[in-house]
Amino acid sequence: MTPIAVAVSGRGSNLQALIDAIAVGRLDAEIVLVASSRPDAPAIERAKQAKIPTGVFTVTKETRAASQSAMGHAIRNAGARLLVLAGYDRYLADAFWDALGEIPVINIHPSLLPAFAGLNNMKVHEAVIASGATETGVTVHRAHRGKLDEGEIVVQRRAPVLPGDTPESLAARVLAVEHQVIVEAVQHLLSSAV
């Protein structure tokens, strides 16, 4: 089982998909740390339920560098060989990357990148509908210092935009795809010896 860490800021449904896939043996990994940018993220409770160690590294403008540096060190000290950004909604400072070292990082984004990069959650789906696109999707990509929603694509999967979709109905369809894709992407990277 390869040790991995997951960084979160909110709901944690992608974290849950990883926890569930590990529980049923579909993903050969162990989550050694869930790191949150917010103390009140529901994702933390999901981690606790699954008996996964958690750390809160609150990010404000003033504390970003110190807090994210501590997060990077904690992830490294936990022995993680991969970091999954699963709804982590903060820009990652250089101090984070310095602390993390060579551990690879991936991010999940609810669009077919590079389309609709740089937007958060519901804003992505609003923009997709406003554009008149008939399909959208999910991208898991490598994340790198100084880049946002940019990096080598690990897995990408399409989802239809249906007539009458609202941002909410589209978000729900895309989220169901995310939960499959995040597991596939992590498994793919682990089996190619991250």
Catalytically annotated residues: 109
CB of 132 to ligand GRF, least distance (A): 21
Number of residues interacting with ligand GRF: please give it, by CB under 6 A: 15
Q: Which region among 31-39, 69-77, 103-111, 158-166 touches ligand GRF (by CB under 6 A)?
A: 103-111
When the beta carbons of 79 and 121 are compared against ligand GRF, the nearer one is 121
Q: Which residues pair with 35 in a beta bridge?
A: 7, 55
**What does the alpha-carbon distance between residue 172 and residue 156 come to, in Å, rounded to a whole number?**
17
**What does the alpha-carbon distance between residue 83 and residue 89 come to, in Å, rounded to a whole number?**
14
What mask, x for binding ligand GRF by CB under 6 A, covers residues 66 to 85?
--------------------
Q: Which residues pair with 83 in a beta bridge?
A: 5, 105
**What does the alpha-carbon distance between residue 165 and residue 178 come to, in Å, rounded to a whole number?**
18
Nearby residues of 141 by Cβ (< 8 Å), 6 or more positions away: 106, 107, 109, 113, 149, 150, 151, 152, 153, 154
CB of 86 to ligand GRF, least distance (A): 5
Please report, as a single letter, which amino acid is at residue 164: G
Interface residues for ligand GRF in 113-142 (CB under 6 A)? 121
Q: Is residue 12 involved in binding ligand GRF (CB under 6 A)?
A: yes
Give yes or no for a contact between 41 and 10, defined as CB atoms under 8 angstroms apart. Answer: yes
When the beta carbons of 66 and 153 are compared against ligand GRF, the nearer one is 153
Q: Is residue 178 involved in binding ligand GRF (CB under 6 A)?
A: yes
Q: Is residue 108 involved in binding ligand GRF (CB under 6 A)?
A: yes
CB of 19 to ligand GRF, least distance (A): 11
When the beta carbons of 32 and 185 are compared against ligand GRF, the nearer one is 185
When the beta carbons of 73 and 173 are compared against ligand GRF, the nearer one is 173
When the beta carbons of 77 and 188 are compared against ligand GRF, the nearer one is 188
Helices within 12-131 (DSSP H only): 13-23, 42-49, 64-77, 94-100, 121-131
**Length of the chain, in residues:** 194
Please report, as a single letter, which amino acid is at residue 55: G
In the numeric block, the tokens 């936990």 are attached to: 78
Q: Where on the chain is the footprint of ligand GRF (CB under 6 A)?
A: 10-15, 43, 86-87, 108-110, 121, 175, 178
